[in-house]
Amino acid sequence: MNRDGALDPFTVFGIEHRLDLDERTLERRYLQLSRDCHPDLNRGVGAADCAAVLARAAEINDSWRVLKDRWERARVLIELGAPGVLDDHKQLDPEFLGAALERAEAVANAEPAAWPLLRRQLRADADAAWQGVRDAAAAGDFATAARRLHESKYVRKALADLEARAEVTA
């Protein structure tokens, strides 16, 4: 368990604490763990055991939700590496915030013809943000990883806003 009482999803899955996980291997592990807790395989258990199986299934599902999303996985790994570091490093550089505001305005004001180029740029920015999180976490610099993760939210939000605009007009 971590400091807020939540289970460590890496431990629930019985896997190494790291950001880069093979998605297919992770999904196979999820399916294996889910099968082990499936009600059809646990029909003969008593009420107390049934409650334990259901609790285990909930742990597995909650862990899957975190581990399959690279950003959530990073959030948890950073917090496990340095409890409280995410809260301690929420304040971002004003220059970064100004650029984030300009990016949001560009998304809000972009004409449909500009969307493909803007989408490519935002995806590249998101990939660069991910690389920054990965590099800092790999170096054990959880303060920088936390800042990069907080910064990535602005890029990911701009990309999501652009995708939403594209869906509305599609």
* Per-residue pLDDT at 40: 60
Q: What is the pLDDT of residues 59-112, one digit of tens each?
A: 999 999 999 999 999 999 999 999 999 999 999 999 999 999 999 999 999 999
The model's pLDDT over 116-135, given as tens digits with 9 standing for 90+, comes to 999 999 999 999 999 999 99
Looking at per-residue pLDDT, the higher value among 84 and 43 belongs to 84
Instruction: Return the CA Rg of the chain.
Output: 20
pTM of the model: 0.85
- Count Cβ neighbours within 10 Å for each residue of 57-80 and write b for 16 or more, e otherwise: bebbeebbebbeeebebbbbbbbb
